[in-house]
Amino acid sequence: MLPEPCLCLVTDRKLGDEVDLVHRAAEAVTGGVDMVQLREKDLPGCRLLSLTASLKGAFGSRALLTINERADVAMAAGADGVQLAEDALPLAAVRRIMGPEALIGRSVHSEEGAVRAAADGADFLIVGTMYATSSHPAATPAGPGLVRRIAHLLAERATSIPLIGIGGITADNQGEVIRAGAAGVAVITNILASPDPRGEAQRLKQAMLNAWSPTRASAGRGPGASGRTTPTGGSSTQ
């Protein structure tokens, strides 16, 4: 189950070596990060497993830990789940591998991709790209409007699933993403490249809470609410 609002940290060890990455991630968790996504696509399995173990040792159960693509590494390390790219393995196949309790997210970049991922049973969607970002300079920002359109389409289908905006997120612009219907935001550079990752995470989390309260109060949802309503009207809290 994702806490809401959810502040997600996506790793990039190019912003520092692996030891520094673990330290910065742990500091960010102390500052308010709820979920860490280990996204180091070039690492071989053995090093990825070792890095996963180091992260788990650094922040334990204080934050969720998901691994990009590698269900095998996630299971071997006892991580909470995986984050799948839009063109990665079918979600049903990963669910068979990891079991019903695993958190499985899907990255999406369009309304069609989001509707398909939700229908396939994703537990949450990371939606991008919100704003211009140095980590993906070639990506054309879709803006918070993409989150709004996805939220509207899913609501029409009586499907509720947490949406997390990614791409160029800062404490100053995340409110636009939350108000568009996101349940959280994902950040890379603004935390990992900060001289004070704990302080930056605190600033982001407080800004999220400030944007979340008036946005969700009218809907009767507050921090900590989560869950996914299926098209048949049932509720899932995977």
Q: With 60 as the cut, is the pLDDT of residue 230 above it? A: no
pLDDT, average across residues 32-39: 98
pTM over 0.85: yes
Which of the pair, 100 or 1, is modelled with greater confidence? 100
Report the Cα 19 to chain-centroid distance in Å: 22
- At 69-120, the pLDDT tens digits run 999 999 999 999 999 999 999 999 999 999 999 999 999 999 999 999 999 9
Contacts 24+ apart (CB under 8 A), 194-200: 197/24, 197/25, 197/27, 197/28, 197/31, 198/27, 198/28, 198/30, 198/31, 199/31, 200/28, 200/31, 200/171
Return mean pLDDT, the chain.
90
